[in-house]
Structure formats: C-alpha cells, structure tokens
Amino acid sequence: RATARLHPLPLLVGALFATYYHLLVAPAPSYYQSLFLSLGSNDTAAAHLRALTVRPHLAGTEANALAADHVVSTLSSLSFPTRVTPYEVLLSYPVGRSLSLSAPGRDATAFALVQDTYPGDPYAAASAEVVPTFLAYAASGSAAAEVVYANYGRREDYAYLASRGVNVTGKVALARYGKVYRGDIVKNARDAGAAAAVIFTDPKDYTPGKAFPDGPWMPPTGVQVGSTFKGVGDPTTPMWASSEGCERVSVAKAMSTHDMPGIPALPVSGRDGEEILRLVGGDVAPEDWQGGDGAPVYRLGPGPAVLNLTYTGNETIATIQNVISVIEGKEEPDRYVILGNHRDAWTFGAADPNSGTAALLELAQRLSKLQNKGWRPRRTIILCNWDAEEYGLIGSTEWVEENRAMLTSRTVAYLNVDVGVSGSGVDASATPQLDELLKQASKKIGRLGGGGSDYSAFVQHIGIPSVDMAIGSGYAVYHSLYDDFTWMEKYGDPMFRRHVA
C-alpha cells in the first residue's frame, strides 16, 4: 500500500491555483497558500480513481450516472453547495458492425473486432460492459471495395496518392492514427471520394516496446475508439443550450452537416491493420509511410485486397449530467475562477479522464481543509465535472451556452484538466493572458521524475483566459480497453504522486 505523500496533478493544479491567488489576488505569499501546497494524499487520489473506474462509463449510461453520484457525494460531503445540471443531447452508439477481408484466390476472413483481455485481468468481467469498438457518429451503411492505403489520412496524403495516379473514389480508405483528429481522417477520406474508412492503430507508433500488461504499450488487439464529430456541443442545438423543451434540428439534419463524417467508418487494431496491408498491392509506399520492424511492406493499392464493411449506428437523444459545485468568494463573490474536468470515458477511463477527476476531487478536499482553518477565497471558485466530453465537448459547451451572459461578465479564468496523468513530465498550455501563471506555477511544483478539451467553449465562445494542464503528454492505450486502474497503477503513476502534484 502506498504511503501518504504529496501527489503531482493536485501539485500542478494546486500550484496553478496558489500562483493565481498570488498574482491576481494577494500581494504576498500567505500562510494559506503554503498550507494548500502542503496538503494532499496519494492514497486519497488513488481511492477516488479506483472508485470512478470500477466500470466502463460511457456518456448517457447508467454507469456514468453512478460515477456522477460519486462526484456529487464527495463534493457535498465537504459542505460545498453542489448540483447536477442535466441536458438532453444527441449521442451515438453502435448497433451492429462487421468487417471482412478478401482477395483473389483467398478465402474471406471476418475480423472479430474484439479487444482481448489477458490472464489474470482484474477487469475481465467488467470488460463485457465496454461498448463494442466504433467511431461515434459514423454514417450507417455498407461498402465492399478495394483498399487504398492513405498513411495518416491527411489531406497531403491524399494529394500524394493523386500524384501517383491512385484513385480513391469508391474505395475503402485505410489510414493509421497518429497525426490528425480521427474526424478529419474520415472527413478527408470522404472528400477524396472514398466509400468508407478504416483507421488502425499502427504498432510502429503505439507499440514500440512491451505491450500491456507486460509494458505500457498498446496490445496487438487494442483499438482506439472515439468520436468523429468535428463540431462542439449538442449537434441538435448548434450555438444554443439543450435545455428542457428547447427547439432542435432533426437528427437527420444534424447527421448531414459538414461536421459529421458522412460515410461508414470503423477503427481496428494494429494486428488487423497489418493483416489488411499484407494483401494490398500496387506501388510500394514511401519510407515514411511504412510500418515498424516486423511489419509487412505497406503498398498504396488499390486492391487486390477487398474490404466488406457494414456499420449500423443508433443516434439518439440521451441524458447527460454535469456536476457543479460552488465555493462562494468572500470579497468578490460575483467574480469566478472555474476549474473543470470531464467524467465520461469510452472505457474505464483511468487516464482519460478520471486521473483528472481524481485530481479535481483531491483539490476540493484541500480547499475544504483550508476552510476549516478559517480561509475563504476572495473570489468564487466553481468546480465543474463535465459529461459527454468525448462525443464533442458537449457537457461543457451546453453549460457555457446556457450561462453565456453571466460567464462572460463574471469569469476571471478557467483551468482545465482532461487527461490529468498519463506519465511523467508536465504538459500545459494557456491563452496569452495566463502565460505568466504557468511560468510561476512550474517553479512551485519543481521537477517531476521522468485536442481540444473542455476549455474550448470558454476560449472560443466567450473569450475567457484559460489553462489546460496535464502530467504526461500522450499514452499508447488511449481510448482503448486497457485504460484502466491496473495500467495507471503499474505504468502511468505507480505511487500516485503525480495525481497529487
């Protein structure tokens, strides 16, 4: 059992908060500022993370509502006024999908499209609750066509294919994750004329070492799932809040906008991607389009490999739940400093996003301890736990749209934590107004060994100075079955020190 020690994401969030207090509120460092940075327990952060990740908790599901209950009960136990703000929004779930590979002189192979558990996996039983691998908001439909390999699926990759005389029209585009948002990968395939898109997790980029559970890297059957919606907020209420009884565009209209992919698409594992590429012919792809050691030679196509893809999705209005907790300011209660993190996850969400949720709750407990010592914030602090971020920053965007006038006039800054901890090193970005805050905060936390997120609505819709922060800068099991407490405990943050920092 880990001993109680200071943990780095509440020391990063804490340092940012304490520095913000120093730069914008207090003329000199205070007793409370020092006390705030000294508080914290990695045992507490670990307990929150374990509780939040016991089950997969996709937005709109009963399991995610139970995760919201944990957040509400924790914040309410600290005597912070806490409420749930629900919204009815358009979410996307898979109903059916299939993918088979054929080529002349070869029997067709049907892919299982399953992420394997491993012997002794403590989450094997709960894994049955994980939604089948899919790309949210992909169009329902079928395609049976030759394969064209499109590298990372960027516009310049399709320009290269065109320069080599490779026609993508009516084909199935096969691209790998790694350089651009998956929604752009599918959109670029559509714009190039592809009938469907398949995205694979190339071992060259995601498994350069030992795969989980023997190492931190993506297992052979691991699949990165996610959204392909390029907009933000509820697709049926663009630029206005999804409040009760509000006007909506139809689901059909929402699914036909330029922000939606418009063609069927599926994600597959590195193992499946390489199996497809073994049967793709045509010219050899450039060196920087190739895979890693042991991979087949990647060729451009088209064909002779043929993929038969079918996807059926269910786009439905579902209830999501933001959790909002308020610590009223003593001198300027109508001026807000807002701290936010999302709760929903594609699978178990140990790194993305619940390392950040655990940090937010740990920070709240520190603030409560300060209050018990007589401290009160000068300005009001609002703690926000967002829902449906993974689908397109929906929960935070709806809340900003609903409270736009109040937030525009009263908010001083927004501090965001998404993937709070995924390894070592500090990764933080800010709007220019808060550059100095980051510089000062980094001095306070010292050295730590070894996409867009919910700030978007605050920055782009209402122009609020914002910071996005994390410890670690990307991890291989992102959005896969293997982003669970075991991975975090073994590789992401074994002693849970980074969560507390």
pLDDT of residue 462: 77
pTM of the model: 0.88
Q: Exposure string (b/e) for 326-360, b if CB count within 10 Å is 16 or more?
A: bbebeeeeebbbbbbbbbbbbbbbbbbbbbbbbbb
> Which residue shows structure tokens 């308020």?
326
Strand duo 135-136 + 226-227: pairing: parallel
Whether 266 and 135 have beta carbons less than 8 Å apart is answered as: yes
Joined together, the tokens standing for residue 80 give 């912070």
User: Strands 265-268 and 196-200: what pairing?
Assistant: parallel
Residues 6+ apart with CB under 8 A from 19: 437, 440, 441, 444
> What element of type H or E holds 414?
strand 411-421
Q: How far apart are CA 359 and CA 14, in angstroms?
A: 10
pLDDT in tens, the chain (501 residues): 333 333 445 555 555 555 555 444 444 457 888 888 788 778 888 999 999 999 999 999 999 999 999 999 999 999 999 999 999 999 999 999 999 999 999 999 999 999 999 999 999 999 999 999 999 999 999 999 999 999 999 999 999 999 999 999 999 999 999 999 999 999 999 999 999 999 999 999 999 999 999 999 999 999 999 999 999 999 999 999 998 899 999 999 999 999 999 999 999 999 999 999 999 999 999 999 999 999 999 999 999 999 999 999 999 999 999 999 999 999 999 999 999 999 999 999 999 999 999 999 999 999 999 999 999 999 999 999 999 999 999 999 999 999 999 999 999 998 888 765 554 554 555 455 545 555 555 454 433 332 467 667 877 777 777 777 665 556 899 999 999 999 999 998 887 666 565
Report the candidate in 64, 18, 65, 52 with the shortest Cα–Cα distance to residue 38. Answer: 18
* DSSP label of 432: G
Q: Coil, strand or helix: which one is 406?
A: helix
Q: Residue 195 and residue 178: Cα distance in Å, rounded? A: 22
Phi-psi region of 413 (alpha: psi -120 to 50; beta: other; left: phi over 0): beta
Give the integer Cα–Cα distance in Å for 461 and 33: 32
pLDDT score of 466: 77
pLDDT of 42: 81
**Distances in Å between the alpha carbon of 141 and those of 27, 175, 305?**
62, 19, 20
* CATH for 9-81+328-500 (3.40.50.150, 3.50.50.60, 3.40.630.10, 2.120.10.30): 3.40.630.10
Kindly provide the residue ranges of all beta strands, DSSP E only, lying in 77-195, ordered along the sequence.
82-103, 106-110, 135-136, 141-149, 172-176
**Strand, helix or coil for residue 249:** coil
Query: Which residues have CB under 8 Å from 266's CB, separation 6+?
Result: 97, 99, 113, 133, 134, 135, 138, 196, 197, 198, 199, 309, 311
What Rg value do the Cα atoms of the chain yield, rounded? Answer: 23
Q: In CATH terms, are 9-81+328-500 and 91-315 the same topology?
A: no
End-to-end CA distance of the chain: 19
Tell how strand 172-176 and strand 141-149 pair up: parallel
Helix (H) or strand (E) holding 310, with range, is strand 306-327
Tokens of 456: 């978007």
Report the alpha-carbon distance of residue 434 to residue 432 in Å, rounded. Answer: 5
Instruction: Provide the annotated active-site residues.
Output: 389
Exposed/middle/buried for residue 476 (C-beta within 10 Å: 0-12, 13-18, 19+): buried
Strands 82-103 and 306-327: antiparallel
Report how far residue 97's alpha carbon sits from residue 134's, in angstroms, rounded to the nearest whole number: 8
- Spell out the domain ranges in the chain: 9-81+328-500, 91-315
Q: Does domain 91-315 have CATH number 3.50.30.30?
A: yes
Pair 195, 138: CB distance under 8 Å? no
Residue 480 structure tokens: 């896969």
